[in-house]
Amino acid sequence: MKKLSLTLVSLLSTSLFAQIQLSPFPMQAIGKAAQLAVSDKDELFIINTQGELWQATPIMNKLSDGFSTQIAPSVAYNRVAGADKQGNFMLWTAKQRYTSTIPLAKQAGMHPLAFATIAVSKQGKQHKLVRIETKGTQAEITAMASTEVLPDAQPMQIDFKHSAPNQGHIAILAKPDNSTYLHGVLGDAIEAAEVQYLERHTLEPLAEGLSMKGLVFEANRFEHFATNSGAKLVSVMSGNGEGGRTVLVGEQNGKLVLEQSSSPLPNNRWQSPFVFNRKLYAVQMPHLHGKLVEYTPQGAKLSEHFMQDGFSNHRYGEYETNLAASASHFAVLPLRDYRHIAILDSQGQLQALAQTLPAEIRKTRASKDSVYLLLENGQIWLAQ
């Protein structure tokens, strides 16, 4: 525990830290959790180890069964998108359950739209980004991107000209590459050679994609970074004999461009960025030192400010590449044993909570006021 202890800053926001409590979420009716999601209305949904879908807040209610425990659901617009036990796309609403024969990529994410779901589907030997809509009692693919995408890609909706999230069109990590940069700590040895920006209805390119010779995007997801003039994608690039660097990607004159970059880490060293309170952070080398830094854009560079050691928002070899989770007024960051957490407040100050979790953290999700921690033993714990 000595190695995991944090040196507390003298001017801590003690009132906020005193308010944050860590407690087990009541799971007696639900049983052990396999997946969790927070809706656009801040409701918690859980898929238990039997494949039952439960709404857990504000009331506890079993909604359906037959869901895959391997594929993470997406909840918005009064719809739950997931997969059946064969791994095919399935959509639940209060009035209808829609089934399909659309095979989903097990480790990829889905993004909900008002009248469709963006997902990654296995098509033959490739993985393609698809738009799925309902027709009758079935769900069907209505658009498919032409380029292959990462098998574990997490599509993000972004409008580069506006700061609000979940607006605009779809950014995706594409053109799988397993030869340019050999590292393989993020679940597999496949990285992305290109970032693409696709129109959300047709999945046709809206801008020229971003790729750089000798570099890959060593990531499976983006973070959304709001600025005064719009928004940028946060990712990690590695290669050319150097390790991971956090980068900001924008759109200019119909092209995706690399706008800012941190200094690279040494070769085969990685970092996991996250955003909280319109500030950009990263855990550098989460499998070794767990160095937490804050990045500030300065010209074409991301200036680095060291904060603390001893964190990890990624478990070696896992596809869940960012275990940091941000509510509106605080963020939760796991320590390197994954059984303790620290609280990051809106002033950028830190405090570790003394309480030890009964098992390691596997997934995290956040609502406006709470952070939910899914543990290896199937329990969910709540920080609020």
108 assigned to some structural domain:
yes
- 């709540």: which residue's tokens? 382
pLDDT of 327 > 70? The answer is yes
How many percent of the chain have pLDDT more than 90? 94
pLDDT 10s digits, 278-305: 999 999 999 999 999 999 999 999 999 9
CA–CA distance from 272 to each of 17, 58, 148, 203, 259 (Å)? 24, 32, 24, 28, 18
pLDDT of 5 > 50? The answer is no
223 assigned to some structural domain:
no
Integer Cα distance of 307 and 312 in angstroms:
14
- Strand 61-64 and strand 53-55: the pairing is antiparallel
272 assigned to some structural domain:
no
- Note the pLDDT of residue 62: 98
What integer is the mean pLDDT of 308-331? 97
CA–CA distance from 201 to each of 102, 130, 144, 194, 334 (Å)? 18, 10, 10, 21, 38
Output phi, psi for 169, to 5 deg: -125, -165
pLDDT 10s digits, 148-204: 999 999 999 999 999 999 999 999 999 999 999 999 899 899 999 999 999 999 999
Dmax over CA atoms of the chain, in Å, equals 61
Is the bond preceding 58 in cis, omega lying within 30 degrees of 0?
A: yes
342 assigned to some structural domain:
no
100 assigned to some structural domain:
yes
pLDDT 10s digits, 250-279: 999 999 999 999 999 999 999 999 999 999
- Note the pLDDT of residue 11: 37
How many percent of the chain have pLDDT more than 70? 95
pLDDT of 8 > 50? The answer is no
56 assigned to some structural domain:
yes
Indicate whether this model's pTM tops 0.85: yes
pLDDT of 129 > 50? The answer is yes
315 assigned to some structural domain:
no
Query: Rg of the chain over CA atoms, in angstroms?
Result: 20
* Contact of 175 with 147, CB cutoff 8 Å: yes
Q: How many domains does the chain have?
A: 1
In angstroms, the first-to-last Cα distance of the chain is 24
Average pLDDT along the chain: 95
Tokens matching residue 102: 């659309």
114 assigned to some structural domain:
yes
- Per DSSP, the three-state class of 354 is coil
What integer is the mean pLDDT of 347-373? 97
* Contact of 352 with 7, CB cutoff 8 Å: no
Residue 317 has a CB neighbour count (10 Å cut-off) of 11
Give me the domain span that covers residue 70: 32-148
pLDDT band at 15 (very low <50, low <70, confident <90, very high): low
pLDDT band at 19 (very low <50, low <70, confident <90, very high): confident
pLDDT of 9 > 50? The answer is no
